[in-house]
Structure 1
Amino acid sequence: MRALLAALSLLLVASGCGLLGGDSGADAAGGAGLEKSRIKIGAMPIIDFAPLHMAIQKGYFRDEGLEIETVGIPGGTTSVNGLVGKQFDISVGNWMSFFEAQSKGVADLKLIADGYQARPHNFVIVVPQGSSITAPQHLAGKRIAVTIRGAIAELLAKASMDAHSVDHSGVGWVEIQFPAMPAALKNKQVDAAVMVEPFITQAERNFGALPVLDVAQGATGDFPISGYATTAAFARDNPKTITAFRRALQRAQKEASDRGKVEQVLPSFAKGIDQVTASLVHLGAFPTRLDTVRIQRVADLMTVHGLLPKPLKVDGMVMENLPDN
């Protein structure tokens, strides 16, 4: 009898170790022990962040014990300001805004995950039908529309023009929002426009816009566009929460390699994209790991074009001890 009780005691001790130990799977699968289970995410209604919405809709964050509230933001500057002002805990954003803020001391940021990478036909300089601009060399000295001066579209356009030996020093860069670019082309307010999807597809379908230069090919091919960041303070105080967030997001990033799944989610959140447009747009890539060598390209190109006050090493911005799923 004593032997039986001893055996049962050993079994209970072994079971208890499995239930209480850190490697039991409770933290990994259910989000147990998170520093913060309800988090706010600054989110833009654009293609780049389809996996974020896939993860929300499919319950991947819930599986990690996280409750997500998205806060709509219009652009990269808002993402940085929102993080600094604690309006949200994590934000999507373009790498350029994150790097500029870090370099100028506006914010102390930590990078969590890669988001989107350019593929051919994601960033294109287009012209109206009948334009005399039929080759990249014809862009010299022209008026070219961009949404914001010094942002990703202008950076890629200049880098691509450099690669084609086009002098862009005399280009007139005109700030016009994407939806208004077709009309600006038609009314000859500008000669060309740097557009992104889904606006490229819409302009080609509805206005007959013609591509002159794909600025996401060659030297700028596979260019990193956007990702996810938080403040150094939030990263320091909430490492388990960040790891759980990243784990759920990466499940969706991996699924985003299936175009059909991306098409399905786009109309539910992306501005100006219906199901037909979703089936036609050219998609970029959704990386599943944060590669500092790859995103360093952004900081280096910004430095070359005078958009950073000094060179920036992005590996110092990456949150330490993140698992590479």
Structure 2
Amino acid sequence: MRSHTPAVLLALPLLALAACAATPAEDPDDGGAAAEDGPAELTAITVGAMPIVDTAALHLGIAEGVFAEHGLEVDVVQAQGGAAIVPAVASGQHEFGFSNVISLLQARERGIDLQIVSPASASSGDTSADLSAILTMPGSGISEPADLAGRSVAVNTSANIGEVMVRTLVAEDADPEDVDFIELPFPDMPAQLVAGRVDAVWITEPFLTLARDRGAEVVVFDYATIDPEMMIDAYITTDAYAAEHPEVVAAFSAAMADSLELATAQPEAARAAVAGYTEIDPEVLERLSMPRFPPELNVASLELMAELAHAAGVLDDPGVAAELVP
């Protein structure tokens, strides 16, 4: 199985502004100094996010006061997917939002003027235990990605990151056009796989662990196999908001960088933070695989994802990757 060379990390330009991150809301005539008669007022922002392990650094940073230190009061609005988050950011309902990289590339190609302001999470790089995998049941006859040709594979959303991962791996030894993709919500996948209604599933944590508890077997951990440094998702804002509020965007980027570093330095704290915004059983939470939380934007990984999406037929112009980086 071929693996792509790990990408060289390139710093997100906005993170260079961390030292001049947005100050708390103040009287414009006070020369920028905080009021002496009380604590400075925080700038309120909303962030559209998903209740998954990928957003652990955001929640850890909020809980530990990192965003407050950067002058921000964060209201996290939970959504089930990027299909709801991206339009909310584009319309100005949320100042910032979270989504997987493929969805962001597709949105930019459709003319939605988004830009990445911080990475969110990345593959653990462990090809024996990552947060995403293709699973099947014992006796299915599927032992490698090429065996998926002519079989049914469940993905949570058609023409998105799961399908790109499956097509990329199948294409190495078979024709991905022969794969029958079926849309299923992640929570339904374990039962449908065990019942034999699909031959395999592309699935992420915590449902990956739940499916394995019911006897499912790993065919391949896709993220880590394709690119051990793969950036999975990111936080975004609009070009217009960034132009109008550069100090707030700089503050958010700096706060996320600090939060990602905190999650990296304290992985068990990041894992524990997940319990605060999900309903994952504590025993399952202790066993599931967590992502990495690199504080720098992996531009090479973003470009690779664009190329993979193009090859999979879900993105026309891989050049839009450059448009997502301010």
Alignment TM-score > 0.5, same fold? yes
C-alpha contact 1:41 1:91 (8 A) present in aligned 2: yes
Distance 2:281 2:190 in 1: 19
**CA drift at 1:81:** 0.6
Count of paired positions: 291
Q: Structure with the greater relative contact order (CA < 8 A, sep ≥ 6): 1 or 2?
A: 2
Q: Alignment partner of 1:126: what SS? A: strand
Q: Alignment partner of 1:169: what SS? A: helix
Q: Rate the CA distance shift 1:221–1:175 in 2: closer, same or farther, 3 A.
A: same
Greater shift after overlay, 259-268 or 121-130?
A: 121-130
* Match for residue 89 of structure 1 among 82, 90, 95: 95
1:109 aligns with 2:90: no
1:220-299 matches, cutoff 5 A: 220-257=227-264, 258-270=266-278, 272-299=279-306
User: Runs of 5+ in structure 1 lacking a partner?
Assistant: 1-24, 320-325
* Match for residue 49 of structure 1 among 25, 49, 55: 55
Greater shift after overlay, 141-150 or 128-137?
A: 128-137
1:161 aligns with 2:166: no
Distance 1:248 1:54 in 2: 11
Q: Give the residue type in structure 2 aligned to 1:118.
A: S
Q: Rate the CA distance shift 1:238–1:124 in 2: closer, same or farther, 3 A.
A: same
Alignment RMSD (CA, Å): 2.2
Tell me what 1:193 maps to. Answer: 201
Tell me what 1:309 maps to. Answer: 316
Q: Report which of the two structures shows the higher radius of gyration computed on alpha carbons.
A: 1
**CA drift at 1:187:** 1.9
* Match for residue 78 of structure 2 among 65, 72, 78: 72
Q: Rate the CA distance shift 1:209–1:61 in 2: closer, same or farther, 3 A.
A: same
Q: Which has the higher helix share?
A: 1
TM-score, L = length of structure 1: 0.83
Matched residues, percent identical?
Answer: 29
Distance 2:21 2:96 in 1: 20
* Match for residue 148 of structure 1 among 154, 157, 163: 157
C-alpha contact 2:133 2:208 (8 A) present in aligned 1: yes
Q: Alignment partner of 1:251: what SS? A: helix
Distance 1:171 1:112 in 2: 35
1:9-20 matches, cutoff 5 A: none
Distance 1:171 1:142 in 2: 6
Q: Rate the CA distance shift 1:34–1:65 in 2: closer, same or farther, 3 A.
A: farther
**CA drift at 1:184:** 0.8
TM-score, L = length of structure 2: 0.83
User: Runs of 5+ in structure 2 lacking a partner?
Assistant: 1-17, 29-41
